[in-house]
Amino acid sequence: MARRKPLPADLPVQVERLDDEGLGIGRVQTGEVVREVRLRNALPGEAVQARILKRRRGTWFGNAQPAEAAMHVDRRATACAVFPRCGGCALQHMPAHLQLERKTAALADLLAEHGVRAARWRAPITGPQFGYRRKARLGVRVVGDQVFLGFREAFASRVVDMTSCPALDVRLSALIAPLRAVVAALSVRRAVPQIEVAAGDEAVALVLRHLEPLTQEDVVRLAALARQHGVAVYTQAGGYDTVTPLPGHPAHLLSYALPEFGLNVQFSPVEFTQVNAAINRSLVRHGTAPLRSCGLVADLFCGIGNFSLALARTGVEVCGLEASASAILRAEANARRNGMAGRARFEVSDLYGDGAVDLRLPQNTDGLLLDPPRSGAGPHLGRWLTPQIGVVSYVSCNPRTFAQDARLLQDAGFALTEVGVFDMFPQTAHVETLGVFHRR
């Protein structure tokens, strides 16, 4: 079997443009082959020195070091010592207004590609640029006597050597150094692949994944960390069904408030919630507004009730559907806790599965709220667009699948009356979108 040629160490590259992920695109000639190169920490027009780290389908990927004399006029100093090596952020070298311009332009291009025109573009909704991230999965790697804990490197599986992170909620960032010290003292430190951290409005929790059983001494060390830093510690020996609090420690739910609606929503550390509390509050406000005159709204992919409960608080009757049984149980508990059990009901339904073919929404459903995964609303969206439905509010974390579904909605007789970007993940290429569709 022929061995692959080693990657070149450093190459001069002229950056032509940026791709959807914020990578600078350039070309280099190697022998008779002109090869595409995609680089982090690059801006259009810059001459950079590229450190090639990975190849995929003939394209080289790596990190860029711009020549001082050829830097883009809008390049800014980064807030993190491990950028661009760390894969947690992609756009720290780009000012916030340019990040938003790029995200909006990328969404507009995709909509145009699918023949969808928006009647109105709302101004991008922004929030904190740093310290916003309330959930993260941190990798762990032990090399000799040294423990690395943090995000993984871009284009590699290595864990970045970090002691803090400006993107994380300050409470989570402050846990990185003590966590490294605790993991180093565990008997199973080489069998700890990751630690998930999560923060609510008032409390913090972590979930330690371990591939070997913890000893009593390990449990004592983790309990000491919990006391010293005021954090709830969970362990995970297998799948998410094995997540349990430390022996002798009660399960502790986190929560976040939606003050505009007088709601307090509880969640476990491993349940899905939006990572940016400020942007989530704005998204709930604007995402529910077009539906508040409806009689009955179906909230598809409802999760733990983030949108359902807010809509119910405004007087709308809501039926929430979601594939995860545990999320539905949490949504029902949140409805009871907030006095919404009479107006919001929830059912388990695999909206991607074959069973969704026969899904029948209540006959008087006149509004839809969609907040699907990255894969979009799925193959059954057209079946849910019954004649009674006059408005669809669509929250998306993937502009590509949003544009595809927007075309389907348009073909079904709906117009995209309003669309805009919500900056859920500043410093990254992630695009969160809210689109509002009305039946023509």
CA distance 61 to 51: 8
Distance (Å, rounded) from C-alpha 156 to C-alpha 143? Answer: 16
The total of other beta-carbon atoms located within 10 Å of residue 14's CB is 15
Distance CA 190, CA 188 (A): 5
B/e letters for 81-90, b = 16+ CB within 10 Å, e = fewer, are ebbbbbbbbb
CA-to-CA separations, 240 to 215, 235, 330, 334, in angstroms, rounded = 21, 10, 15, 21
- Residues forming a β-bridge with 204: 199, 231
Joined tokens for residue 90: 């992609």
**Which secondary-structure segment (H or E) carries 179?**
helix 176-185
* Active site (annotated) includes residue 397: yes
What are all long-range contacts of 349-353, with beta carbons under 8 Å and residues at least 24 apart? 349/321, 349/322, 349/323, 350/323, 351/300, 351/301, 351/321, 351/322, 351/323, 351/377, 351/378, 351/380, 352/323, 352/378, 352/379, 352/380, 353/323
Catalytic one among 89, 165, 302, 397?
397
- In the three-class reduction of DSSP (H, G, I as helix; E, B as strand; rest coil), residue 278 is classed as helix
Tell me the catalytic residues. Answer: 397
